[in-house]
Amino acid sequence: MKFDIAIVGGGIVGAATLYKLQSKYPALKIALIEKEDILADHQTGHNSGVIHSGLYYKPGSLKAKNCIEGRHELVAFAKEHGIAHDVCGKIVVATDESELSNLEKIYQTGLENKIEGLQKLTGEELKKHEPHVEGIAGLLVPCTGIIDFRTATAKMVELALAIQSESRLFLSEEVLDIRKEDGFSTLVTSKQSIQANYLVFCAGLQADRLAKKDGVKLKEKVVGFRGDYYELTEQGKHKVKNLIYPVPNPDFPFLGVHFTRMTDGEIECGPNAVFTFKREGYGKTDFSWRDTWDALTYQGTWKLFFKNMRFGINEYRRAFSKRLFLKTLQRMIPSLTMDDLKPGRSGVRALLLRQDGDTRDDFRIEYHGNSIHVLNAPSPAATASLAIGGYIVAKVEEQFGL
């Protein structure tokens, strides 16, 4: 099996890369290799389903640029191909005076990033958008939306494979080894060997391990953080119309628990963010010796723990206490009750954690020989996927002379 390019990883970034490459170079034979038996089965299929606006990201960063460009591309793609989505907007809610300075910083960042329609709201104006919210100020972000990322991923792959009959999707094939030959590489999978002139790795939770198999001298490690969700019951659904977010705490590297209307009509509340003992473990007690050893023998993990000790303890307490989870949600919607919540799903976010414990790194894409590695692509990577795919195409042209 010989291909011009092999892409490893069948999440939405890998799918978008295949779609963009194949669209621009229809004669290329491209393989997409995914170790699970379906596409989008990890981060893509377990995220919040939000089309992010680009509100929070440092102006000029890859996250900001690709999120904003990718959002426009993704919405256009969804419209063209009938993917379930809704650009319904969101509000960011300040519930305390101490949050107002951070709300203003977010607003200014949004202006720099040219977020369309961004608008400050008073406490009274918040209620016009979400009648059950209690806040003192907020922001309206009308270009935020929701989408079915799993279906979008499948459609990108379907369209790409329709362009070139000799391109292939390989499911249920894990890449076990990478052998460098003279002018090409051989991927040894759990089923066969696949040869390609060039490789692109979009491996998410396994990005660091595949990079090392490919000979990349990588100092950082991927560390996983699980996010647990609750859902609103039928009696509680009327309390949320669209998307409701808190003002993020700048000392904590996650956005905080929020409310999200999904494309199927369900309302999710979450996620929290707790260290996971298994990179691809979605249960609260899932455990892997290898993943735990990798994470707990890495200095960056401990530095992150010590920097965020108070937050981390609170997140773990909430993970096992519905009452504490509810208390957090009641900061924005005080009328919520225990009967309004039922357990939901979980997801795991992959972060390429720096040695100093900093999680706030930009998207990171590097080259090594005849390979390109997407090493760090956490949120908003799903929103940004088509723009990231275009960015990778440009780098493939630059590095490999297509």
| 247 band by pLDDT with thresholds 50, 70 and 90 | very high
Q: Residue 253: its pLDDT value, please?
A: 61
Token code pair at residue 254: 């996650």
Closest alpha carbon to 378 in 348, 339, 400: 348
Q: Residue 309: its pLDDT value, please?
A: 80
Q: Are 353 and 301 in contact (CB under 8 A)?
A: yes
Token code pair at residue 122: 């008073």
Q: Residue 45: its pLDDT value, please?
A: 95
Rounded-to-integer distance, Cα 223 and Cα 168, Å: 31
Residue-range domain boundaries for the chain: 2-45+150-220+361-400, 90-142
For the beta carbon of residue 349, count every other beta carbon within 10 angstroms: 21
Token pair 């119309």 in the structure block, residue = 241
Q: Which residues contact 289 (CB under 8 A, 6 or more apart)?
A: none
Token code pair at residue 55: 């509100």
> What would the mean pLDDT of 41-68 be, rounded to a whole number?
96
Asked whether residue 81 carries a pLDDT value surpassing 70, the answer given is yes
Q: Residue 250: its pLDDT value, please?
A: 75
Q: Give the three-state DSSP class for 314.
A: helix
Asked whether residue 221 carries a pLDDT value surpassing 90, the answer given is yes
pLDDT digits (tens, 9 = 90+) for 134-153: 999 999 999 999 999 999 99
Token code pair at residue 208: 């660091």
Q: Residue 252: its pLDDT value, please?
A: 67
**DSSP-derived secondary structure letter, 65:** H
Rounded-to-integer distance, Cα 239 and Cα 242, Å: 10
> What would the mean pLDDT of 378-387 be, rounded to a whole number?
96
Closest alpha carbon to 400 in 184, 235, 90: 184
Angle between helices 309-319 and 299-307 (to 10 degrees): 90
Q: Burial-class residue 35 by CB neighbours within 10 Å (0-12, 13-18, 19+).
A: buried
Phi-psi region for residue 220, left (φ > 0), alpha (ψ -120 to 50) or beta?
beta
pLDDT digits (tens, 9 = 90+) for 158-211: 999 999 999 999 999 999 999 998 889 999 999 999 999 999 999 999 999 999
% of the chain residues with pLDDT over 90:
88
- Fold designation for 2-45+150-220+361-400: FAD/NAD(P)-binding domain (3.50.50)
pLDDT digits (tens, 9 = 90+) for 258-308: 999 999 999 999 988 899 999 999 998 999 999 999 999 999 999 988 888
Mean of all residue pLDDT scores within the chain: 95
Asked whether residue 398 carries a pLDDT value surpassing 70, the answer given is yes
Rounded-to-integer distance, Cα 291 and Cα 66, Å: 30
> What would the mean pLDDT of 240-245 be, rounded to a whole number?
98
> What would the mean pLDDT of 105-118 be, rounded to a whole number?
97
Amino acid of residue 104 = E
Phi-psi region for residue 229, left (φ > 0), alpha (ψ -120 to 50) or beta?
beta
| 235 band by pLDDT with thresholds 50, 70 and 90 | very high
Rounded-to-integer distance, Cα 139 and Cα 103, Å: 8
**DSSP-derived secondary structure letter, 306:** H
Token code pair at residue 42: 């990890």
Q: Residue 320: its pLDDT value, please?
A: 85
> What would the mean pLDDT of 105-109 be, rounded to a whole number?
97
Is the peptide bond prior to 131 cis by the omega test (within 30 degrees of 0)? no
∠10-56-59 over CA atoms, to 5°? 95
Give per-residue burial for 367-396: e unless 16+ CB within 10 Å, then b. Answer: ebebbbbbbbbbbbbbbbbbbbbbbbbeeb
Rounded-to-integer distance, Cα 253 and Cα 46, Å: 19
Asked whether residue 216 carries a pLDDT value surpassing 70, the answer given is yes
When computed from its CA atoms, the radius of gyration of the chain, rounded to whole angstroms, is: 21
Token pair 């491209």 in the structure block, residue = 30
Rounded-to-integer distance, Cα 199 and Cα 184, Å: 9
Closest alpha carbon to 66 in 400, 389, 290: 389
For the beta carbon of residue 117, count every other beta carbon within 10 angstroms: 12
